[in-house]
Amino acid sequence: MENTKEEYMVKKILLLRYGLLLIVFIVLTAGCSNQHRDKNDTEIDSNGNDNPFEVDEEETIILGNLGHGFANPEVDENGEMLPLHYDGG
């Protein structure tokens, strides 16, 4: 019975070792291949704007914004936000 446990462990270790080698081979092959690289596309199109955070007025479309706070808070007659209602949910 001990012989079968040892054989099982050896097979398991060999399977893990070969699996790891296969994964390393696939990663190296995929990472080092350059068959999809376009030789003519060596320059990056910068649109003439040196600062990527500057707004380019010609092509800028703002679709929305993010913010902190409430979208439609209830306000009183002075324009101050009313306390939030808790309905127990």
pLDDT in tens, 39-86: 555 555 555 657 767 766 677 777 787 888 888 889 999 999 999 888
Q: Is the pLDDT of residue 1 over 60?
A: no
**Dist CA 19 CA 17 (whole Å):** 5
Q: State the sign of the Cα–Cα–Cα–Cα dihedral 70, 74, 80, 82.
A: negative
Total-model pTM: 0.36
User: Average of pLDDT values for 25-47?
Assistant: 69
| Predicted pLDDT at 75 | 93
**Dist CA 9 CA 17 (whole Å):** 12
Residue 82: inside a domain: no
- 3-12, 32-41, 53-62: least confidently modelled range: 32-41
Q: Is the pLDDT of residue 89 over 80?
A: no
The domain in which residue 7 lies consists of 1-28
Beta bridge partners of 75: 81
Backbone dihedral angles phi then psi of residue 36, each to the nearest 5 degrees: -95, 5
**Structural domain tally of the chain?**
1
Smallest Cα–Cα separation from 17: which of 9, 7, 6? 9
Helix, strand, or coil (residue 81): strand
Residue 64: inside a domain: no
Residue 14: inside a domain: yes
